[in-house]
Amino acid sequence: MLIWFVVLYLLVSIGIGLFAATRVHSAKDFAVAGRHLPLPVVTATVFATWFGAEAVFGVSATFVKEGLTGVVADPFGSSMCLIIAGVFFSRKLYKLNILTLGDYFRLRYNRTVEVLTTLCIVASYLGWVSAQIKALGLVFNVVTAGYVSQTAGMILGAAIVLTYTTFGGMLSVAILDFVQMGVIMGGMLYIGYVVSGLTGGVELVINHASAAGKLDFFPPPDPWLWLTFLGAWITMMLGSIPQQDVFQRITSAKSQKIALWGSILGASIYFCFTFVPMFIAYSATLIDPELFNGLLQTDSQLVLPTLVLQHTPVFAQAIFFGAVLSAIMSCSSATLLAPSVAFSENIVRGFFPHMGDHQFLKVMRASIVIFAGIVLGFALYSSASIFKMVENAYKVTLAGAFVPLFFGAFWKRATTQGALAAIIGGLSAWLLVEALVSTGGARTGDYAYALAGAGQLVPPQLIGLAVSMLGMLLGSLLPQWVGRPTPPIDIHAVLHHRAAAETQHTTEHPHQH
């Protein structure tokens, strides 16, 4: 019965996605749903995009092992990211009427900055989307009692998500997110209710977690522990801001006000609701301590699904796995679409500026298929946990894309030379320190030992962020050898005028676009 419920749910989801695809007639419909989404749909798609595999399996398992301190990145950092991004994107970028963040980098700086930042953004999605595919494989393996291997489950899951995302784009994703949000919330709350009855009540579980130190949020008063703590928080909170999926959801709204409030509401619901799977997973250690403490040592991601399969009725299992599939599919479709759109718009289109709209739509769909293949390969051969795959995804954008985005928006003196110095310096410093930490600087002398030691004490991505900021400041203030200095005027007024001019040119000469 459970297997047939899952099959039926998947068929219905694909059907909804393909039906939405019939409404896609242009690249703009595909990329940002025509910028027509109302507040409930924007709220749902912001929530559902982030409430994925890491929220259900990764965050809950990490909380059981490490407590609130271990989940500072998600949900604390991620929900703050959505609020900051909502305020920033809605006020600074919504009126520009652009498809991607790469478009902003091109208008604000130049083509080189556009390409470099887009490559950073696309690369950051590799771990995130792989985590969703890995989780789909885990679910199919658990639901079929091992009949479908995790490898086969990953391939099947990737094929399902690829089907409706390729045809329907953002419109399919948004409509499915709206439907799936209700399934996620209803399913998780019901399982929480069932599990609380098995443990003796919510209060007993909370008191037990508090006594075990799991509700202690801040680390001990050790400066190096605090640096690690803040590093995880900042990586997710700031590194997630220059992300195409967040930008797409907010700019798909039909007004600037809806873009702002949709992001704030979606972030607030996400933050509160992530504690539900944490509660369910921790309850498992009270229901069957021997079994679940053993799973924590071997594969902590199995705690939640094993609890549901062994200690709840079939109806509850169907509700749970329906909610889990909703969460993972909505997140994976969104994270599959975003980098593909960014790559098509900001890399491919630059080489073919006169590409027609229908040709561009085909390029975006082809990019999704290619990216899905790369992600599937990474998921099949990566040994990292779901939580770590997601957490590590944002280091590249923190070091390489955050500073050009924010300084470009809030500092009028930021220049193309400064942006290039920020990108190259930030990425180089981060990658160098990461490499030296992994080798201990053993073969490269005293200086490398010092850098490796610094990387063990200070998270490498924070070193990359600091170097990126320094590069932006020095590159912008020193004599300009690359590009021209930005004039001391309201840059966003200029960008809005340029974007409007491009839109008018596209309307007057559609055969060239």
Mean pLDDT of 59-63: 86
Specify the range with the lowest mean pLDDT, choosing from 5-9, 425-429, 481-485, 497-501: 497-501
Looking at residue 488, what is its pLDDT? 41
Long-range contacts of residues 467-470, Cβ cutoff 8 Å, at least 24 apart: 467/399, 467/425, 467/426, 467/428, 467/429, 467/430, 468/399, 468/400, 468/402, 468/403, 468/422, 468/423, 468/425, 468/426, 468/429, 469/403, 469/407, 469/422, 470/425
> Distance (Å, rounded) from C-alpha 421 to C-alpha 417?
6
Measured CA to CA in angstroms, residue 46 lies from 196, 240, 257, 362 at distances of 29, 13, 15, 26
Report yes or no on 200 lying in a domain.
yes
The 3-state DSSP class for residue 459 equals: coil
Please give, one letter per residue, the 3-state secondary structure of 237-259.
Answer: HHHCCCCHHHHHHHHCECCHHHH
Report yes or no on 458 lying in a domain.
yes
Q: pLDDT above 70 covers what percent of the chain?
A: 83
CA max distance for the chain: 70
Cis peptide before 75 (omega within 30 of 0): yes
Report yes or no on 31 lying in a domain.
no
Report yes or no on 35 lying in a domain.
no
Query: Six-digit token pair at 453?
Result: 């030691």
Q: How confident is the model at residue 487 (pLDDT cuts 50, 70, 90)?
A: very low
Query: Six-digit token pair at 401?
Result: 């894309």
Contact 140, 152 (CB under 8 A): yes
Query: Percent helix, strand and coil across the chain, each rounded to 5?
Result: 85, 0, 15
- pLDDT at residue 167 is higher than 90: no
> Distance (Å, rounded) from C-alpha 472 to C-alpha 416?
9
- pLDDT at residue 304 is higher than 70: yes
Report yes or no on 419 lying in a domain.
yes
Convert the pLDDT of each residue in 126-159 to its tens digit: 887 888 888 888 888 888 878 888 899 899 888 8
> Distance (Å, rounded) from C-alpha 149 to C-alpha 134?
11
Which CATH number fits the domain that encloses residue 343? 1.20.1730.10
pTM for the predicted model, two decimal places? 0.79
> Distance (Å, rounded) from C-alpha 85 to C-alpha 402?
11
Q: Which residue has the higher pLDDT, 227 or 502?
A: 227
Report the range out of 281-285, 332-336, 420-424 with the highest average pLDDT: 420-424
Question: Which residue segment(s) compose the domain that 248 sits in?
Answer: 2-20+40-512
Looking at residue 444, what is its pLDDT? 46
Q: Which of 302, 364, 371 shows the shortest CA–CA distance to 169?
A: 364
Report yes or no on 410 lying in a domain.
yes
Sequence letter at residue 317: Q
> Distance (Å, rounded) from C-alpha 469 to C-alpha 474?
9
Go through the chain and tell me how many residues it has: 513
> Distance (Å, rounded) from C-alpha 81 to C-alpha 77?
6
Q: Using CA of residue 304, residue 309, residue 313, residue 315, what is the dihedral sign?
A: positive
Q: Which residue has the higher pLDDT, 271 or 29?
A: 271
Mean pLDDT of 246-257: 81
Looking at residue 362, what is its pLDDT? 86
> Distance (Å, rounded) from C-alpha 73 to C-alpha 507?
44
Number of domains in the chain: 1
Report the range out of 325-334, 390-399, 407-416, 479-488 with the highest average pLDDT: 407-416
Mean pLDDT of 65-94: 86
Report yes or no on 29 lying in a domain.
no
**Across the chain, what does the average pLDDT equal?**
80
Q: How many whole angstroms from its chain centre is CA 14?
A: 22
Report yes or no on 26 lying in a domain.
no
